[in-house]
Chains A and B, each alone.
Chain A
Amino acid sequence: MIYPNHPLRTQPARLSIIENVAPELALTAPWLKLELKSSSAAPSYSVSISKSWHFDELDAVHESEEEHPFDKERDSAYPYSDTPLPGVSMDARKRKKKVLLMGKSGSGKSSMRSVIFSNFVAKDVRRLGATIDVEYSHAKFMGNLTLNLWDCGGQDAFMDSYVSAQRSNIFSDVAVLIYVFDIESREVDRDLDTYSTIIRALHQYSPSAYVFCLIHKMDLIQLEHKEHLYLERAQLVKERSEGFDLETFASSIWDESLYKAWAGIVHKLIPNLAVIEKFLHAFAKAIKAEEIVLLERSTFLTVTSVVNNTKPRPKHKAPISNSPPSDSPTNESTPEDDSNPNFDRHERISNILKTYKHTVARNTSNTPASAGFVLLKLQTAQFNLFLARLTENTYVFVVVPPGEAAFNCAVLNTLLAREAFEGVTNAK
């Protein structure tokens, strides 16, 4: 089978570029070779993944679900679409979303990827070296969504090759581009020029992609300047975005803002979100819960949340309140529905739970990936809450009003609802 945009094809060119970049790279030559080997294995990656693909609890729902806007458009743009691989259904491939992670060298792309997906704690990221070319990784969400994360090294030579030799390979079939800006960068104009180039390439190959811009390393800015520096930079980025559907976030790996940004990104990608929200909503009513939050298992990112007796409050609305109100028509977030004044609570919960998971892992001599909670219960005079596993890949976080008996019922019902959750979604 011949792949027109085969990564192998571009390899000789890449090698020569790498040799030109920096002499110190020669020192890491064995590693470099490994790196290339892994990307030379890339042509078979879709096949190997399709083998390991198993249909678990939420898969079957997908077919009947209203598609995400870019799903349809993408089929036509998908380069391999007329040569389907044996044993790979279209659905399986559709659910794999290609996510490009780009930005200037040293802006913190690999750091944030490691913190979110590889269970690094923030101070561990100092150990990370520079990313050479593209590092591929997968993150599985909710069973039926796999993120194909392309972490693209940001040195100028790589950037040039992305928009020239590897242009179609990199930019075709992109579901999401995450572009990272370093708030401390001294060459703002140059950063923006590079960004424009990337955006133009994306526009050519994947015009329906979502673009998320993270203004990163916000922890380095003094508190009183944070807001206006961020708004100013976000405005500059917007002007260069050529009409893409753009969201900007201020982020830092040192606090919960990173979880906010990534929860916003993931929220856009979950295919059968409406069904899940509907189910959670009905469930919240049934157990008289104040609020239900669905969290991803390993990252603790908020998938979605519902507040009882109101319409579902989509997670991605919260970040928008961060940007200037003029360009956010969806800014009618629901303060009157949502009585809790802590609007950042979901990302803070993610942060709290993940931090504690690390503590647990450290102290039970386990890897963070294998550590986890079976059941967490908290009863106070004002509220009761618990966290329990819902499906293989999710935790459910439920807040109910005080009342011991009702609380214990809610816990039991949730454990029973695991099957129902699978049942409801599978029936469709």
Chain B
Amino acid sequence: MSANLRQNKPRLLLMGQRRSGKSSITSVVFHKMPPRETLFLESTTRIQKDSMHSFMDFQVWDFPGQLNYFDPTFDAEEIFSGIGALVWVIDAQDDYTDSVTRLTASVANLQDIYPNINIEVFVHKIDGLSDEYKSDAFQDIRQRIEDELNDHGYKNPPVSYHQTSIYDYSIFEAFSKVIQKLVPPLGTLENLLNILVNNSGMEKAYLFDTMSKIYVASDTRPIDMEVYEMCSDYIDVILDISELYSYPRSESTRLGPQMVETESSVTIHDGTMIYLKEMNKYLCLVSVIKHPDAKDKKGLLDYNAHIFQDALNEVFARGWEKQENSEAAKEPAEH
């Protein structure tokens, strides 16, 4: 893998104390495990590397609590060079003093060597706390980390905080925020989405990573949790149904020409339409349309989405030229 490619494809490290929920997070977000089944996950005893090849390269490194990976025996260069963000998971329901101490030590170390790494703190298992206690715990953790970093003399370190839980959408939302910081052409994507939304009468449009349901970009209108939930669940519906019917047919009957990309729409009882279109191997566009004419102008929608797709793939082709080329060679074989 060339150094150039490494810079363009950000990697993520997921760390935290034992039993803070790292394996659960990866299982739910990247392996589509139902949240309640994470109860049965065994605890991770060794450093565990789990890599995901999706829109981005995710590497999840699970560190047992007693290891100090800034020890000279560990190759810090190998671990930390080329990562885009370090996600630190803190169990909000547990005693978090240790975790906070270890986190600040790590941040201090990292800041000296790799000042470009974003530190993302997930205050996790927040669902178990009552509403008023939630923000208290969150504020407390945040305050402690900031105080300790200040004491060490680090002003305005690149640390951001998220409240997460695997039982709702907050974990996907948090990951989306993390990823968006690492997508180089985010501004361009948002711009493209804005143009699409304004010209197609869409309420809101998201560009999702199909595998993980993390959204890479959305148009710049305010995010509406309700719309987000319907869109992200719709991806599940499509993936699940596709899985049932994409078996290899013995004799392939075709009734006519058709585009290779998946495309889907659903009109629900109040006339809202949810429109999904596959953009490339990793990404899909999901949008909500409340415009009453949407049903009749499906052709126009398709056309606009197609133009957007071309623009999008051009943006990414520029960044990842090599990657795209090798995939373009593979693509026809798979379809």
**Residues of chain A at the chain B interface (Cβ within 8 Å):** 288, 339-342, 345, 348-349, 352-353, 355-356, 359-360, 362-364, 366, 370-385, 399-407
A352 to B237, CA, bound (A): 6
Contact assessment for A381 and B244 in the assembled complex, using a CB-CB cutoff below 8 Å = no
Residues of B within 8 A of A383 (CB): 245-246
A378-B230 in contact (CB<8A): no
Query: Which among B230, B233, B234, B254 is the interface contact of A402 at CB below 8 angstroms?
Result: B254
Question: Which residues of chain B come closer than 8 Å to A359, judged between CB atoms?
Answer: 229-230, 233
A340 to B234, CA, bound (A): 23
B269→A401 contact, CB < 8 A: no
* B335 partner, pick from A348, A371, A381, beta carbons under 8 A: A381
Interfacial chain A residues near B229, Cβ < 8 Å: 359, 362-363
- Expressed in whole angstroms, the minimum distance between the Cβ of A279 and any Cβ of chain B is 22
B223-247 interface mask toward A, CB cutoff 8 Å, 1 = contact, 0 = none?
0001101100110111011111111
| Known contacts A342-B247, A349-B241; A377 and B266 CB within 8 A of each other | yes
Tell me the smallest distance from the CB of B247 to a CB of chain A, in Å.
Answer: 5
A353 to B241, CA, bound (A): 9
* Contact of A348 with B240 in the complex, beta carbons under 8 Å: yes
Residues of B within 8 A of A349 (CB): 241, 244
| Cα–Cα distance between A383 and B238 once the two chains are bound (Å) | 12
Asked if B266 and A382 sit within 8 Å, CB to CB, the answer is no
B249 sits at the interface (CB 8 A): yes
Which DSSP category, helix, strand, loop or mixed, fits chain A's interface? mixed
- What chain A residues lie within 8 Å of B257 (beta carbons)? 403-404
- Establish whether residues A405 and B269, one from each chain, have CB atoms under 8 Å apart when the complex forms: no
A-B contact pairs, 10 of them (CB 8 A): A341-B247, A342-B247, A363-B230, A364-B268, A372-B269, A378-B264, A380-B242, A382-B246, A384-B258, A401-B253
**B255 at the binding interface (Cβ < 8 Å):** yes
The distance in angstroms between the C-alpha atoms of A404 and B247, with both chains bound, is 20
Could you list 9 further interchain pairs (A-B, Cβ under 8 angstroms) beyond the known A342-B243, A404-B259?
A340-B247, A352-B237, A353-B237, A359-B230, A359-B233, A374-B269, A402-B256, A403-B258, A404-B257
Sorting the interface of chain B by its residue count into under 10, 10 to 19, 20 to 34 or 35 or more gives 35 or more
- B241, A339: Cβ atoms closer than 8 Å: no
In angstroms, how far is the closest chain B Cβ from the Cβ of A165? 42
With beta carbons under 8 angstroms apart, the residue of A356, A360, A378, A407 that contacts B242 is A378
Cβ contact within 8 Å between A342 and B244: yes
- Report the nearest A residue to B234, measured CB to CB: A356
The answer to whether A375 touches B266, judged by C-beta atoms less than 8 angstroms apart, is yes
CA distance A339 to B245 in the complex (A): 10
Residues of A contacting B335 in the complex (Cβ-Cβ under 8 angstroms)? 381
Whether B241 and A378, one on each chain, are in contact in the complex, defined by CB atoms closer than 8 angstroms, is: yes
Give the distance to chain B from A69, nearest Cβ to Cβ, in Å: 33
Closest CB-CB distance, B245 to chain A, in whole Å? Answer: 5
Q: Contacting A374 at CB < 8 Å: which of B226, B254, B267?
A: B267
Q: How many residue pairs between the two chains, A and B, have CB atoms under 8 Å in the bound complex?
A: 124
A348 x B244 contact (CB < 8 A): yes
Known: A339-B247, A378-B238. A407 touches B255 (CB 8 A): yes
Chain A CB within 8 A of B67 CB: no
* Assembly CA distance A356 to B230 (angstroms): 8
Query: Which residue from chain B places its CB closest to the CB of A348 in the assembled complex?
Result: B244
Q: How far is the CB of A11 from chain B (nearest CB, A)?
A: 42
Tell me if B270 counts as interface (CB < 8 A to partner A): yes
Q: Assess the B254–A401 pair: CB atoms within 8 A.
A: yes
- A-contact 0/1 string along B160-181, CB 8 Å cutoff: 0000000000000000000000
Cβ A339 vs Cβ B249 within 8 A: yes
With both beta carbons as reference points, the residue of chain B lying nearest to A288 in the complex is identified as: B255
Does B230 lie within 8 Å of A379, measured CB to CB?
Answer: no
CB-CB contacts of B87-127 with A at 8 A, as 1s and 0s? 00000000000000000000000000000000000000000
Known: A381-B262, A401-B255, A402-B255. A374 touches B244 (CB 8 A): no
Which chain A residue lies CB-closest to B240?
A352
A375 CA to B265 CA in the complex, in Å? 8
Does residue B1 face the partner (Cβ distance < 8 Å to A)?
A: no
Shortest distance in angstroms between A371's beta carbon and chain B's nearest beta carbon? Answer: 6
User: CB-CB < 8 A to A373: which residues of B?
Assistant: 266-269
Greatest chain B CB density within 10 A among A352, A375, A380, A406 is at: A380
In the bound complex, CA of A377 to CA of B270 (Å) = 17
Output the nearest chain A residue to B225 by Cβ-Cβ distance: A363
Write out, one digit per residue, whether chain B residues 186-201 have a CB within 8 A of any chain A CB (1) or not (0): 0000000000000000
| CB atoms of B233 and A356 under 8 A apart | yes
- The answer to whether the Cβ of B263 comes within 8 Å of any Cβ in the partner chain is yes
Chain B's closest residue to A352 (CB) is B240
Contacts of B266 in A (CB 8 A): 373, 375-377
Residues of chain B lying within 8 A (CB to CB) of residue A362:
226, 229
Shortest Cβ distance from A362 into B: residue:
B229
- What's the Cα separation between A369 and B261 when bound, in Å? 34
Q: Which residues of A contact B261 (CB under 8 A)?
A: 381
| Whole-angstrom distance between the Cβ of A125 and the nearest chain B Cβ | 14
The answer for the CA separation of A378 and B245 in the assembled complex, in Å, is: 11
What residue in chain A is nearest B232 (Cβ atoms)?
A359
Report the minimum CB–CB distance from B108 to chain A (whole Å). Answer: 43
A403 and B245 contact, Cβ closer than 8 Å, known pairs A352-B237, A360-B230, A375-B266 = no
Give the complex CA separation of A406 and B237 in angstroms.
Answer: 23
Docked-complex contact A360 and B268, CB < 8 angstroms: yes
The chain A residue sitting closest to B34, CB to CB, is: A254
Q: Bound complex: CA of A342 vs CA of B245, how far in Å?
A: 8
Q: Which residue of B lies closest to A375 (CB)?
A: B267
At the interface, yes or no: B333 with Cβ under 8 Å from chain A? Answer: no
